[in-house]
């Protein structure tokens, strides 16, 4: 029962975010402007930018940087099919909500599938973070732990007009 509630909440959140993105004109199938200058689609840093930033902030050694690059490359190859499934399911969800006769069961099934795919993606990212954590020194782990909330909030990144916050 608890699992169904969690999946349901994730599905509703997914749908709400998808609608918000579409309304903002910045969804994955729109040509809206990126949220941040110098970043990829929808303001996301590409893996090379993330690794460079991590190298600088945590003062990674060359060996650590190579290990992180290998981990990220492996994740990218492993997650690519999952990302494609998410994209296809998102498209199916959008199409299911645009039809004249709304089929709640079909939308719920697609939403449940999307929630499951997102859960797989979250687990994959957690595994990567764990593998990266394992190669850091205790001091780097502590610094990473302190920096993580700031990175999640986007502090210190360039904003719309290229200014630092």
CA end-to-end span of the chain? 44
Please write the tens of the pLDDT for every residue from 17-68: 554 444 444 444 433 333 333 444 545 667 788 888 888 889 999 999 999 9
Give the burial string for 109-121 (b: 16+ CB within 10 Å, else e).
ebbebbbebbeee
Q: What is the pTM of this model?
A: 0.60
Where do the structural domains in the chain lie, given as residue ranges? Answer: 2-153
> CATH number of the domain at 2-153, please?
1.20.120.1490
pLDDT at 107 over 80: yes
| Three-state secondary-structure class, residue 29 | coil
Please state, rounded to an integer, the average pLDDT across all residues of the chain: 76
With cut-offs at 50, 70 and 90, classify the pLDDT of residue 103: very high
- Ranking 57-71, 89-103, 136-150 by mean pLDDT, the lowest is 136-150
């Amino acid at each position: 029962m608890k699992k169904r509630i969690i999946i349901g909440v994730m599905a509703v959140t997914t749908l709400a975010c998808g609608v918000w993105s579409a309304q903002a004109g910045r969804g994955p199938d729109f040509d809206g402007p990126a949220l941040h200058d110098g970043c990829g689609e929808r303001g996301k840093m590409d893996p090379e930018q993330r690794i460079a930033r991590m190298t600088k902030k945590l003062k990674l050694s060359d060996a650590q940087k190579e290990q992180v690059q290998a981990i990220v490359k492996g994740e990218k190859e492993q997650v690519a099919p999952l990302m494609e499934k998410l994209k296809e399911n998102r498209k199916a969800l959008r199409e299911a909500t645009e039809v004249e006769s709304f089929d709640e069961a079909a939308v719920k099934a697609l939403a449940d599938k999307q929630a499951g795919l997102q859960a797989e993606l979250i687990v994959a990212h957690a595994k990567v973070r764990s593998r990266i954590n394992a190669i850091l020194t205790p001091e780097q782990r502590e610094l990473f732990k302190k920096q993580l909330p700031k990175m999640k909030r986007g502090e210190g990144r360039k904003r719309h007009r290229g200014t630092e916050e």
